[in-house]
Structure 1
């Protein structure tokens, strides 16, 4: 029997697959719920890289570089698509304070990294890897690697960030948990009280739109059309039902008011109370569609012709006699106004006769299965645009090379914008969560496997006989100093809710195991909500920070 002869492609494929299998199994091992997670692929790749080097096996460098960069592109693009719809909304209202705290952790981490560089003369190549490992942010490692390649660093220099990442990563996971525990015990937190306080605040500022039934008692409004009442429709309060002379109707702009009419209003709490003062008093019984000819339904916008159009231009009220009372977009309810622009995936609440609602379904689409499909032409177009944007050089005085978003930043920025847009023409960028997760995990597995395989032959030497132990110490500082400083200031000075603050700290490290630990302290949703609010901004900052450090420090 002839000997087995594997070509370069077969060898690389087997090595990547083995790194994925062993790494994912390693990542599932946990101690008290804390494990390596997807980072296990990096350590499995390092082990396989070490064994391969000892056996004299070498992989095609160009092939490995392509797989690494393609995996990174796929990973950051799917992240952008995921966070895009909520990215800009997270920067408003209460999310602003949470994002400022999380961004402060990132900025302080960069400052501590710079201090380590100047105090201990740590090479830039290792420094950016240590920083990425200390904050458990794998996309940052990819961005650092790409930035080093862009400034013309050699192969050894490009491989060094992965060594720094690997030695700093384990404490990065432990450090965030330790920070939460120190914050909890030193400030004497009462977990049930914190959960109760958060839930009470959440009820006052709920992301869902409340409703109110009001009896018209203001005689100055008798005989006016609804469109003439200040504060209704395009001012943020929508009348979705109206009882007039004992009959339940769909209120329209031309409907005439009379004293004794009852309006079911939908809108923000403060505007509802203002309208109650204008119209009359709150009704004793809720205005319901049960037992009437009217009904209400939630309709999903999936028709490409409806997406991108203003509600007024669809003329649903005039043509079908229905009222749109609210729009649910990415989990947030918005008042339906004439100038509101519908987006693919919006869920609109429609009130009216049943047959009219059915016709409106045909206009808006209401094909939920469309939300479960991946539009691959849109994905590949987005990747093309992302690579092009990442390749545009931006000259900055004092830097040795033009600033570029690179293969990590370009696809991320484009994906955030496309995720926010939702669809355009024949392209759709709404991606089912399951598909998004699968593509994201596949991309990061490819990236980590290659990084580990290329760094494996030097990892043990660096850790045992080189500077590895010192690098661990530097990583501890980069992990703990920003978390503890921001945590105590946010809690003691600005009065952050402890559970929400834990979500901010976990989000500032983009660390799911830390979020799981935070959630285990209380059934309250505080940590998860805060984590989701800061994740989009922090992920962008974590990807751009290593690139900026590389360009700044190479200029010195």
Structure 2
């Protein structure tokens, strides 16, 4: 964990060690990190999707399929619920459907297809589900493509529809779930709560802590999730108002919010707690991480503050991490190489032990004692080890997104605990 280097280094600096001893200990940290990082990453990447299912005696793909069925209640999707579908709008001239109601046509086509617009002899028509269609009407249907391609048999020939499609502008909005009434409820329950406002709106995906959540009728939604709602602009905005706050991303970073958070984190990192004769401190890295968690929670509650474009975030993360590791490694290079030469085999062995032993114990305890779902266990293991690639690998092997359901909480807890452990390990080492 790269942030642990910062917290451990800060803790060492407060021990009053001689300069040469301090440099050697910091070099040991850099050497240990360099040797064990790749082992911790690769072994976790292999353990989660392969070894963990073997230890539990399960087929990951089969268990993921069972979990998806359980989450959906063993029932097929109902037409009244939001579905994971691609949204399209197509125009038709009413021939076969003449004399039928709008509601009858929507029900016949199915899959939540809705009539969005009716043009009658060049004039827009206000309508409801009980309105009668007349021969020659030009209507626009919105819904999943797979349903629309078969709609002409129930309505009439498809037309270019330039005169009617210009008003049906498909939109996709990211919406932060902030409605307290939706917290912990299933998608089925949420659609019932939204009511008629869900008409013509489709759910493309749900993101939770940066990971896509598998969608079924029984998928539970929590505050802070981000839904992507798809449909005609006015329909999507109507439904979004019921769900939470629309995320209208900007290409500008909220520098004031970011700078204030970093400053607060650095100040907290200066604080120390006396444990016996030793002073324990989070250091700048640990303090900034803790404040970052608070700022992230605040932005989840009030997304109007702290805008940080993903591209800028990734760039700063890559450059910052690279610069941080370089700053640690460059001045300690010779001593680190000497440490690897002297203790290379021992460091490699420790890398294997500190990676595989906790993973194996956690798998057995979670499966045999806690009786957790094995798919959730795999996601939780990847989250606790903070290895994103293990989550992806697990999802690919399971052929499902269900492992993501176990990631969020262990990932957050793991990041905090691993960072805090830097000064704790230094304290225990020198206290002994």
Superposed pair shares fold, TM > 0.5 = yes
C-alpha contact (below 8 Å) 1:506/1:515 kept by paired residues:
yes
Shift of 1:196: 0.7
Aligned residues: 322
Structure 2: distance between partners of 1:552 and 1:146: 15
The separation in 2 between residues aligned to 1:477 and 1:454, in whole angstroms, is 29
- After TM superposition, the structure 1 = structure 2 runs for residues 270-281 of structure 1, keeping only pairs within 5 Å, are none
Deviation at 1:172, TM superposition (A): 1.9
The residue number in structure 2 matching 1:392 is: 271
Aligned-CA RMSD value: 4.8
Asked if residue 519 in structure 1 is aligned to residue 388 in structure 2, the reply is: no
Q: State the TM-score, normalized to the length of structure 2.
A: 0.59
Matches within 5 A, 1:400-411: 400-401=278-279, 403-411=280-288
Report what 1:197 is aligned to.
66
Contact 1:162 1:452 in 2 (8 A): yes
CA distance in 2 between partners of 1:366 and 1:426 (Å): 9
Counterparts of 1:212 and 1:459 in 2: how far apart (Å)? 59
Shift of residue 483 of structure 1? 0.8
Task: Please give the per-residue CA displacement for 1:287-309, whole angstroms capped at 9, x wherever unaligned.
Answer: 9674666899886689xxxxx99
- The CA deviation at 1:455 is 2.9
1:182 aligned residue (41, 51, 54): 51
Q: How far 1:460 sits from its partner (Å)?
A: 3.5
> 2:336, 2:431 → 1: CA distance?
28
Q: Is 2:412 the partner of 1:555? A: no
Aligned mate of 2:12, from 131, 145, 148: 148
Aligned partner of 1:377 in structure 2 is 256
CA distance in 2, matches of 1:415, 1:426: 15
Structure-2 separation of matches of 1:506 and 1:367: 29
1:7-30 per-position Cα deviation (integer Å, ceiling 9, x unaligned):
xxxxxxxxxxxxxxxxxxxxxxxx
SS of the aligned residue for 1:445 comes to helix
Which residue in 2 is equivalent to 1:158?
26
1:76 aligned residue: none
Q: How does 1:245-260 map to 2 (within 5 A)?
A: none
Stretches of structure 2 that go unaligned for 5 or more consecutive residues are 83-100, 104-109, 118-125, 129-167, 182-194, 214-222
Distance 1:285 1:424, change over 3 A: closer
Contact 1:419 1:430 in 2 (8 A): no
Specify the SS of the correspondent of 1:428: coil
Task: Could you tell me which runs of 5 or more consecutive residues in structure 1 were left unpaired when the two chains were aligned.
Answer: 1-136, 214-245, 249-283, 303-307, 312-321, 333-341
Structure having the larger proportion of residues in strand: 2
1:205-228 residue CA offsets vs partner (Å, 9 max, x unmatched): 9xxxx9679xxxxxxxxxxxxxxx
Quote the residue 1:488 is aligned against: 364
1:414 corresponds to which of 291, 295, 315: 291
Distance 1:410 1:323, change over 3 A: farther
Distance 1:366 1:409, change over 3 A: same
Corresponding position of 2:248: 368
Q: Structure 1 293/301 Cα, relative in aligned 2: closer, same or farther at 3 Å?
A: farther
- Write out aligned runs for 1:419-458 (5 A): 419-422=296-299, 428-458=305-335
Q: Contact 1:149–1:158 (CA<8 Å) still a contact in 2? A: no
- Structure with more of its chain in helix, by fraction: 1
Structure 1 residues 297 and 460, CA gap change in structure 2 (3 angstroms): closer
Aligned ranges for residues 313-328 of structure 1 at < 5 Å? none
Q: What residue number does 1:543 align with?
A: 419
Give 1:442 deviation, angstroms.
1.1
> 2-side partners of 1:201 and 1:424: how far apart?
31
